[in-house]
Structure 1
Amino acid sequence: MSIGYSEITSTISLITSTYLAYRTHKRDALQIKKDKNETEKKNKADLTARIYSVGKSSHRMKIANIGIASAYNINIDVLEGGEIMSSHDLDSKFPYPKLDQHQSLDLILSIWIGAPNRVHMRLTWSDAFSESNEKELHVSVT
């Protein structure tokens, strides 16, 4: 039995087509995963906080939505350092109804000598991706 030119060509064609089908399948799977991640990202809000100075002796905490989606029903649970935060401000602003992308809210802080220099808190909110999101932050006075 002899192997001719057509058998060799057929074998090479079969190997090539199998490899290309595998590569196409792998690329399609990666594209589907990428599309899913982008869709999830579009539906997620991401809250962050920072403390900044206003003038020489006043400070504020800014809570901002740096995600793409809107955040709803935002709550704050102060775990440590809450004595520098205005309880009236917390009670009157939370739960905060909605923060769109790039929106923020400010909280009044009272800093004195010997006061805690950071706040440990948990932010909770809902968005288009999930009804219960949570982020724990340590925010320092600069």
Structure 2
Amino acid sequence: MNFVVDSGDIIAGIALFFSIYATFKTIKFNNRQQKLILTQEKLNQLLLEKETTVIEFEKQAELGASFLKLGSNKYRLKIWNKGKALAQNVSIEFPEGNEVISEHEINEKFPLQFLDVHQAVELIAFVGLSTKSKHLVKLEWSDGRMQRVEKLIWVTI
């Protein structure tokens, strides 16, 4: 048996080689494409989580407190909202005792129905020589979160 190779066999062999090469490149390209799709899905998930966090942050009020000195013997306890949302049903307590703010002043202004963004309320403080310089203030409020928010703040004179 004689095995004869003519030009058609050579062309068919070259075509087979290019077909195998093209198949290999297509498989390699598809693998890269799958990796790119997975990376895009992870990126989209991270962006979605970030946006969700921003939306949740937009629903939150953030209250703070500090003493202000207005003159030689005049002090005020200032409660403010520096958050991005309205604080509702704001209440104030002094867990370690209250010796600087009169109960009448507290009962007159609190519970505060609303404390809007960048709004503040001031309470008249009575400071003497025997007054402690550090006081614990407990603020509670409702905002866009599911539960009522509680914050303990040490304020100093």
- TM-score, scaled to structure 2: 0.83
8 Å Cα contact 1:81-1:118 kept in structure 2: no
**Alignment-mate amino acid for residue 26 of structure 1:** K
Structure with greater strand percent: 1
Q: Which residue of 2 aligns with 1:137?
A: 153
Aligned-residue offset at 1:81:
4.8
Percent identity over the alignment?
A: 29
Q: Does 1:113 align with 2:109?
A: no
**Counterpart in 2 of 1:72?**
88
Give distance in 1, aligned partners of 2:146 and 2:155: 25
Between the aligned partners of 1:80 and 1:109, the Cα distance in structure 2 is 16
Report the counterpart of residue 98 of structure 1 in structure 2. 114
Ranges in structure 1 where 5+ consecutive residues have no aligned partner: none
Aligned to 2:33: 17
Paired amino acid for 2:63: L
Count of matched residue pairs: 140
Where does structure 2 lack aligned partners over 5 or more consecutive residues? Answer: 1-16
Alignment-mate amino acid for residue 128 of structure 1: G
- Give the distance between the partners of 1:63 and 1:110, measured in 2 at CA: 16
Question: Offset at 1:131?
Answer: 4.4
Instruction: Name the amino acid aligned to 2:127.
Output: I
Whole-angstrom CA distance in 2 between matches of 1:108 and 1:121: 15
Deviation at 1:30, TM superposition (A): 0.6
Root mean square deviation of aligned Cα: 1.5
Choose from 56, 60, 80 the match for 1:40.
Answer: 56
Relative contact order higher in (CA < 8 Å, ≥ 6 apart): 1
CA distance in 1, matches of 2:37, 2:128: 68
Give yes or no for the alignment of 1:26 onto 2:42: yes
Matches within 5 A, 1:49-88: 49-88=65-104
Superposition misfits of 4+ residues, deviation over 6 angstroms: none
Give the partner amino acid of 1:94.
F
**Cα offsets for 1:28-59 (capped at 9, x unmatched):** 11111011111111111110111110111111
Normalization by structure 1: what TM-score? 0.92
